Structure 1
Amino acid sequence: MKNVIHIVKLSVGTESVDSLLAWQKTRAATHPDGLPYHITRMWPKREEEILAGGSVYWVIKGSIQARQRVLGFEEVIGGDGIRRCAFILDPEITRTAPALKRPFQGWRYLKPEDAPIDLSEGREADDALPPELAGALAEIGIL
């Protein structure tokens, strides 16, 4: 079995999974292959493990709410001449069970056994709980 590792990342300024999706559609239009991407300062040292089936788990309003499979990495040189890393992402976003996450900077590795489960087909259309309620339920272990 392949060693797989995921990444957990804050989606700064995002209000919901739908707003993340809308922002990424706009961003994808600027990529040569039409794929969504996210630029970060650091290149992951565990690149091979991420590319073996890893995802970015998005923290929105204090809890992990969705994930996207990582398809690759590309070097991006900013206008300031600094080398950065673009995470090339699958356009499909999978909603996950909410998992409370404290604020942090950058991104962190996430072991598969610590990742929240995907919501089952059809549950994506359920009305989302308010973030505060989802966070409180996750904190006491109900979600």
Structure 2
Amino acid sequence: MPLHLIKLCVGCDSVDDLKSWVSARLKEQKKRGRKPEHVHTTRMVPKRMEELLDGGSLYWVIKGQVMCRERILDLRPFVDKDGIGRCRIVLDGKIRLVTPRPYRAFQGWRYFPDSDVPSDLDRAARGAAAMPEHLRRELSELGLL
């Protein structure tokens, strides 16, 4: 059974913001002749790497709700120039909407067991992915999505 991570998407106000940011980063890498890959760097190195690499995803919390996920492709621990251990989380760059769910603020990332993850939105509510994000949020807050 895969294990997942959950993290606040700091600086993004919407899923569209995240998609734009990822797209711009991938285009910039391609322009510079690098292999385009979405990498998120974090301070802590997950100790449960095997479980995360067995089909895990990084779930993004945007403005207080779990809104989307990206598949984890690789975890690359390294030591930065200041001697601090960090980890590059390599993601597939494909943002998948999930059924919105409230989630309180926290620092860093947390393990997110498979039993707790929200369903992908296209499986849970056909057509909901085509709705504007503010409408999905409102329906979720009303308990209708």
| TM-score of the superposed pair, with normalisation by structure 2 | 0.84
Match of 2:130 in 1: 125
Q: Distance in 2 between matches of 1:85 and 1:53?
A: 18
What letter corresponds to residue 18 of structure 2 in structure 1?
A: L
Q: Does 2:103 align with 1:105?
A: no
Which consecutive unaligned segments of at least 5 residues does structure 1 have? none
Q: Distance in 2 between matches of 1:42 and 1:79?
A: 16
Match of 2:55 in 1: 53
Task: Choose between structure 1 and 2: higher helix proportion.
Answer: 2
- Superposition deviation, residue 21 in structure 1: 1.3
Match of 1:87 in 2: 89
Q: Distance in 2 between matches of 1:58 and 1:17?
A: 9
Q: Distance in 1 between matches of 2:47 and 2:104?
A: 23
CA offset digits 1:66-118 (Å, max 9, x no partner):
00000001234434332310100012110011010000000111111210110
Contact 1:62 1:135 in 2 (8 A): no
Contact 1:97 1:118 in 2 (8 A): yes
Paired residue total: 138
- Superposition deviation, residue 122 in structure 1: 4.6
* Change over 3 Å in CA distance of 1:11–1:34 after alignment to 2: same
- Superposition deviation, residue 132 in structure 1: 6.4
What letter corresponds to residue 20 of structure 2 in structure 1?
A: A
Q: Distance in 2 between matches of 1:21 and 1:4?
A: 24
Match of 1:11 in 2: 9
- Superposition deviation, residue 22 in structure 1: 1.3
Which consecutive unaligned segments of at least 5 residues does structure 2 have? none
Contact 2:128 2:136 in 1 (8 A): no
* Change over 3 Å in CA distance of 1:25–1:81 after alignment to 2: farther
CA RMSD of aligned residues (A): 2.2
Bigger mean CA deviation after superposition, 78-87 or 104-113 = 78-87
Q: Distance in 2 between matches of 1:85 and 1:103?
A: 22
What letter corresponds to residue 123 of structure 1 in structure 2?
A: A
Other structure's SS at 1:129 match: helix
- Superposition deviation, residue 128 in structure 1: 1.8
Q: Does 2:27 align with 1:25?
A: no
Q: Distance in 2 between matches of 1:132 and 1:125?
A: 13
Q: Does 2:141 align with 1:136?
A: yes
- Superposition deviation, residue 130 in structure 1: 5.3
Bigger mean CA deviation after superposition, 124-133 or 109-118 = 124-133
